[in-house]
């Protein structure tokens, strides 16, 4: 059995996060020692490792909840799991596209800067006026 600190060290998940995962039901309530300390077995370690890896891959807590539910029913077909993974891949691809557009825009802004004074800085000017942006990034304007 592991204490919460040992579980944290084993998985790289911070203690408050472990408590939060328990609170929202991603991890089951742990056993308690006679001194009322949380105690975790291999099942909790495996489940938290699953959650941590899923978070590292960018899955939302709700998607992880779905995946855990599906993994608790190993005899079911994995179509639903594949659909969740595909949805995550689509989100990652969309983020990559946005990041590539942002990189292009930043490269353009820097290339247009004459490296004179801040008063004449193209980077400052473009950051102050989104209309000066070009390409896909310009279409991603987010007015606040």
Residue 36 lies inside a defined structural domain of this protein: yes
pTM, whole model, 2 decimals? Answer: 0.76
Are residues 47 and 101 located together in one domain of the fold?
A: no
Non-local (6+) Cβ contacts of 125 within 8 A are: 132
Evaluate whether 14 touches 8 at the Cβ level (below 8 Å): yes
Under the banding of pLDDT at 50, 70 and 90, the label for residue 144 is very low
**Secondary structure (3-state) at 3:** coil
Which backbone phi and psi does 2 adopt, to 5 degrees? -110, 145
Number of domains making up the chain? 2
By residue range, what is the domain housing residue 45? Answer: 4-71
Examine the pLDDT at 78 and tell me if it is beyond 90.
yes
pLDDT digits (tens, 9 = 90+) for 14-60: 999 999 999 999 999 999 989 999 999 999 999 999 999 999 999 99
**Last residue of one domain, picked from the residues 71, 104, 130:** 71
Are residues 66 and 87 located together in one domain of the fold?
A: no
d(CA 106, CA 137): 10
| CATH number where 67 lies | 1.10.1660.10
Residue 115 lies inside a defined structural domain of this protein: yes
Residue 144 lies inside a defined structural domain of this protein: no
């Amino acid at each position: 059995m592991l204490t919460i600190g040992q579980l944290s060290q084993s998985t790289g998940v911070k203690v408050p996060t472990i408590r939060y995962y328990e609170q929202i039901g991603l991890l089951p309530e742990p056993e308690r020692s006679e001194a009322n300390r949380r105690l975790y077995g291999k099942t909790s370690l495996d489940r938290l490792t699953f959650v941590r890896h899923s978070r590292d891959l960018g899955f939302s807590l709700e998607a992880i909840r779905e995946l855990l539910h599906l993994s608790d029913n190993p005899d079911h077909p994995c179509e639903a799991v594949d659909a969740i993974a595909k949805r995550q891949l689509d989100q990652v691809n969309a983020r990559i596209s946005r990041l590539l557009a942002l990189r292009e825009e930043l490269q353009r802004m820097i290339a247009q800067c004459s490296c004179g004074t801040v008063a004449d800085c193209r980077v400052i000017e473009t950051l102050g006026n989104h209309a000066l942006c070009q390409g896909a990034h310009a279409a991603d304007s987010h007015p606040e």
